[in-house]
Amino acid sequence: MKKTTLALIGLAYSISVPALATATHCSAQEQTVFSCSLGKKIVSVCASKDISPTNGYVQYRFGPKNTPELLFPASTELANRAIMRSGIYMFSGGGGAYLRFINGQYNYIVYTAIGKGWGNKDGVAVEKDNKLIANLKCQDVPNSKLGEDFFTSSGLIADENEFSLP
């Protein structure tokens, strides 16, 4: 009887855990810094496992599952921190973080925050010429390592132009 119960619990666990996992464009050889489903598309920020201020990469990926249509920067061989800015939010009863990717006149900003009175806000915002043109909200609970620890350990530059949550 005990073996049957344990087997059923194990089976239930193996079925439910993958169903709860957040979809990502990151591979098993990378770390997922941020990822969530936006409905038909996924936004992910992937980094090399050896990320440091002088080594590794961080890359923004956006698109349908298994076929991202935008990779920025285009190559993971570029460890260019100049195209990224990080930010931290401090709120009464909450806080959050964001990571901005600067691609010419476009900015892609992944964010996660929680605040007293308004709850969670997670997603990706797109700006053109510093004006918000799209805000796509996460449809699930994001997988996120955004925050001071990751920003410092990877050598990301603080954003002078604070991003206002949409």
pLDDT digits (tens, 9 = 90+) for 7-16: 333 333 333 3
Q: Which of 8-22, 58-72, 75-89 has the highest mean pLDDT?
A: 58-72
Do 123 and 113 touch, CB atoms closer than 8 A? no
Looking at residue 92, its pLDDT comes to: 77
* Averaged pLDDT score across all residues of the chain: 86
Looking at residue 82, its pLDDT comes to: 86
Looking at residue 7, its pLDDT comes to: 34
Looking at residue 139, its pLDDT comes to: 94
Looking at residue 1, its pLDDT comes to: 43
Looking at residue 140, its pLDDT comes to: 93
Looking at residue 87, its pLDDT comes to: 96
**Residue 20: pLDDT over 60:** no
Do 81 and 155 touch, CB atoms closer than 8 A? yes
Q: Where in the chain are the domains?
A: 2-154
Q: Which residues contact residue 12 at a Cβ distance below 8 angstroms, ignoring those fewer than 6 apart?
A: none
Looking at residue 110, its pLDDT comes to: 98
Per-residue pLDDT reduced to its tens digit, 102-144: 999 999 999 999 988 888 999 999 999 999 999 999 999 999 9
Looking at residue 11, its pLDDT comes to: 30
Rg (CA), the chain: 18
**Residue 77: pLDDT over 90:** no
Per-residue pLDDT reduced to its tens digit, 43-65: 999 999 999 998 999 999 999 99
Looking at residue 131, its pLDDT comes to: 95
Looking at residue 3, its pLDDT comes to: 41
CA 149 to chain centroid: 14
